[in-house]
Amino acid sequence: MLPSEIDNLIREAKSALKKAIAPYSGFTVGAALIANNGKIYHGCNIENPSLMLSFCAERAALINAIVEGERYFKAIAIVSGNGEYCFPCGACRQMLAEFAPDMEIYLVSDKGIKKFSVDELLPHRFKKI
Ligand code: THU
């Protein structure tokens, strides 16, 4: 990804953050996922009073893209409302690994940007072979 593409993806993740629905945890998360064709898909966390039904921003972005027919992805940017780095939860890592194993992952905080590969965040992942 070019620096300008990364900047744009982060802007989109901040825009997705505004759509988060997190009245129970107070912890808002936004994600922007860019497909290989350059299209960007938003995700945000969506909470429910039945707390187990709450949905993470990363998986929301993936599902948003997949239902639109996308299958190949370049990168995802993830931002949280508290200004700290938001590392994807285990379930999101497994799903990102399944659909985008070569993707770049950008975590954004008030202090800067960290870049990870899927393998770094989820080594030795479960695969059905
Ligand atoms: N959350 C995400 O959206 N992504 C993550 O990677 C970690 C957690 C959400 C789920 C829940 O709505 C809130 O953050 C607090 O756990």
Task: Tell me how far apart the terminal alpha carbons of the chain are, to the nearest angstrom.
Answer: 31
Residue 129 is predicted with a pLDDT of: 78
CA torsion sign, 115 to 118 to 122 to 123? Answer: negative
Query: What pLDDT does 128 receive?
Result: 85
Q: Look at residue 5 in the predicted model and tell me its pLDDT.
A: 97
The domain locations on the chain are: 3-121
DSSP secondary structure letter of residue 18: T
Q: How far is the CA of 17 from the centre of ligand 1 (A)?
A: 12
The atom number, within ligand 1, closest to the CA of 56 reads: 3
Give the pLDDT score at 95: 96
Closest ligand 1 atom, CA of 47? Answer: 12
Distance 69 CA to ligand 1 centre (A): 25
**CATH number for the domain whose boundaries are 3-121:** 3.40.140.10
Show the beta-strand stretches assigned E in the chain: 29-35, 40-44, 73-80, 104-108, 113-117
**Regions of the chain where pLDDT drops below 50:** none
Decide: 106 and 120 in contact? Cβ < 8 Å. Answer: no
pTM above 0.95, yes or no: yes
Residue nearest to atom 8 of ligand 1 (CA): 56
CA of 45 to the centre of ligand 1 (A): 6
